[in-house]
Structure 1
Amino acid sequence: MQTSDASVCVGEAMVFERSTRLLAGAMAVACVVLVGPSAPGSGLFGKSLPVAAVRDVVPNRVMTWNICNPCEVSNVDRAAEIAAYAPQVIGLQEACVRDVERIREYLEVLHGLVYHVEYGMVLRDWGRCGGVPWSPGAFGQAVLSAAPMTDRVHVEYPEGGSEDRGYMAVTTTVGGQRVRVFNTHLAQRRQEAVRADQIGVLATEVARHDRAVVLGDFNAVPDAPELTRMWELATDTDPRCRPSPAGACEPTTDWHSKFDYVFLRAITSLKHRVQPTSSSDHHLLYTDLNPA
């Protein structure tokens, strides 16, 4: 196929409305497979991919996922992992802007899921996110939401430890209710004092809101002393998980530790799931919130 033919193919795919997006997605995949990915590192590599059925998000579902970076992972695969559970809101950590843009694109074109995005970047890192030395990619957190987001706040912690870290917050709709959603990534392991200071900054802001969802990779097990402030403000989505060695907390990492949390403040959950994935060393964690 000539390049001009591929352009016609994509153009024809784009004229369909949501009711025919499944066909549009199939046409777009065919074009990309024939003429190659539209940007380096998009991860298709010319292989044949199934197109999932077009469907809507689960309106009361929130998800947190450290997508692993740097890792040789296809953004097509990352999008498919998210689409399998179709959350209303997703908090991503260790995210590059370029990767998030691709993930959003594939979620829409291949799966019929349309998301808004807000970023909370803390680094401009050529080594992690590619680009060129004078224009490196941005690295940090991102929130995808099926509903529009407002009042974005982005805070870099005063002390990041071995790498800059921060949190972001947005207000959006989950289960038909307006909710303040936080997304964070705390300092790496063996930096307990740094994490304690970071949680102090985060918890002070969370405490200002009557209802909040706090997503993220806290790099700490549930009974770690530095998590005390969070446990005072919120509960884990898993009602069995407690800040004590006796708590039955399901691991969220390949090394069998619980580092990833959906903390809920004045909100209850209906169910949750931890899903291991070959796309990251952290598992997907999602919860369906009680909209009442």
Structure 2
Amino acid sequence: MVFGRRMRMWAGALGVACVMLMGPSAPTGALFARPLPAGAVKGVVPNRVMTWNLCNPCDRSNLDRAREIATYAPQVIGVQEACVRDVERIRIHLRRFYGLVYHVEYGTVLQDWGRCGGVPWNPGGYGQAVLSAAPMTDPVSVEYPDGGSEDRGYMAVTTTVDGRSVRVFNTHLAQRRQEAVRAGQTKVLAAAVSRHDRVIVLGDFNAVPDAPELAPMWELATDADPRCRPTYTVGCTPTTDWQSKFDYVFLRGITPLGHRVHPTPYSDHDLLHTDLDTDQESHGT
């Protein structure tokens, strides 16, 4: 009886330790990948970019997240609310089950045990990440001077899209009802973007297109969705479960060829991807 009780206690302690090490958003269920849906692409699309807020903490399987990404297989993916451990698992699943190999750079702004697990003295990194089928150079990670209710920032890398070198930014602005904070963040981001002629800016801006705080971005770039403008939002496709357009692919010196918003059960934000022509200059920038 005593031996059995000790064994149960030991097993329970081991289980708690595993949860702490893996984190609350670790994958659940057996690691058997479902086949991709009909119509999925057969390999990386070299001129496609995607942005996706992964939702954290949302207790979603990284295997399901990898399948969503593999269905559209963009050349570049910017993710927000991303734990380093989750992104690493997504990369492993993409390679192992779908044959898609991505490089990764991180824009970590927090070390957060509550969101990303780990142990109290070594919590998981949390923030943004960029995955690219091509190598990346010159990575930077910048924390905004004022993050609002939670530290926020942007990251940037140089990589290849549509056969040409481009600067790619990925950001997550302050939460809703923090307009003044976002206005300051957008000015910081726009100043960095303005230094480059050919730029892709991915991210969750937590603001609709006609929000005043997005004005610095509109002065430099256009959104991949031609129906989304600061003065014209009729038909602008929403990207969140609450039917707001918060997610953007801003383009400077690049022409969009088409975009799609894909609802997903694995986040409160939809997947947004666009195909690009980097040989033409975007009108209106």
TM-score range relative to shorter protein: 0.7 to 0.9
| Length-normalised TM-score, structure 2 | 0.86
The Cα shift of 1:213 comes to 0.3
Match status 1:45 vs 2:22 = no
Indicate the larger mover: 163-172 or 241-250: 241-250
Q: Is the 8 A contact 1:55 1:112 kept in 2?
A: no
Match status 1:75 vs 2:62 = yes
**CA separation of 1:127/1:85 partners in 2, compared to 1, >3 Å: closer, same or farther?**
same
2:140 counterpart (146, 153, 156): 153
The one-character-per-residue Cα deviations of 1:164-185 (angstroms, maximum 9, x if unpaired) are 0000000000000100000000
The Cα shift of 1:56 comes to 2.4
Q: Distance in 2 between matches of 1:248 and 1:54?
A: 27
Match status 1:144 vs 2:131 = yes
Q: Is the 8 A contact 1:64 1:262 kept in 2?
A: yes
Aligned twin of 1:90: 77
Q: Distance in 2 between matches of 1:214 and 1:260?
A: 10
2:164 counterpart (177, 183, 186): 177
Match status 1:186 vs 2:186 = no
The one-character-per-residue Cα deviations of 1:197-228 (angstroms, maximum 9, x if unpaired) are 00000000000001100000000000000000
2:204 counterpart (217, 223, 233): 217
Aligned twin of 1:280: 267
Aligned-partner SS, 1:233: coil
2:257 counterpart (261, 266, 270): 270
Match status 1:101 vs 2:50 = no
Match status 1:135 vs 2:119 = no
The Cα shift of 1:248 comes to 2.7
Q: CA RMSD in A?
A: 1.7
**CA separation of 1:226/1:107 partners in 2, compared to 1, >3 Å: closer, same or farther?**
same
The Cα shift of 1:44 comes to 4.6
2:187 counterpart (200, 203, 219): 200
Q: Distance in 1 between matches of 2:26 and 2:98?
A: 16
Q: Distance in 1 between matches of 2:235 and 2:35?
A: 38
**CA separation of 1:210/1:67 partners in 2, compared to 1, >3 Å: closer, same or farther?**
same
Q: Is the 8 A contact 2:258 2:275 kept in 1?
A: yes
Q: Distance in 1 between matches of 2:190 and 2:97?
A: 38
Q: Is the 8 A contact 2:255 2:277 kept in 1?
A: yes
Aligned twin of 1:114: 101
The Cα shift of 1:48 comes to 4.6
Aligned twin of 1:61: 48
The Cα shift of 1:54 comes to 9.6
Match status 1:248 vs 2:244 = no
Letter in 2 for 1:167: Y
Q: Distance in 1 between matches of 2:204 and 2:65?
A: 17
Aligned-partner SS, 2:219: helix
Q: Distance in 1 between matches of 2:111 and 2:151?
A: 10
Can you give the 5+ residue segments of structure 1 that lack an aligned partner in the other structure? 1-38
- The runs of 4+ residues in structure 1 deviating greater than 3 Å are 39-42, 51-55
Q: Is the 8 A contact 1:54 1:111 kept in 2?
A: no
% identical aligned pairs: 73
Aligned-partner SS, 2:188: helix
| Length-normalised TM-score, structure 1 | 0.84
Letter in 2 for 1:138: G
Aligned twin of 1:13: none
The one-character-per-residue Cα deviations of 1:202-257 (angstroms, maximum 9, x if unpaired) are 00000000110000000000000000000000000011211125443110000000
Q: Distance in 2 between matches of 1:109 and 1:54?
A: 17
The one-character-per-residue Cα deviations of 1:94-147 (angstroms, maximum 9, x if unpaired) are 000000000000000010000000000000000000111111001000000000
Q: Is the 8 A contact 2:207 2:245 kept in 1?
A: yes
Q: Distance in 1 between matches of 2:158 and 2:173?
A: 21
Q: Is the 8 A contact 1:92 1:141 kept in 2?
A: yes
Q: Distance in 2 between matches of 1:179 and 1:146?
A: 13
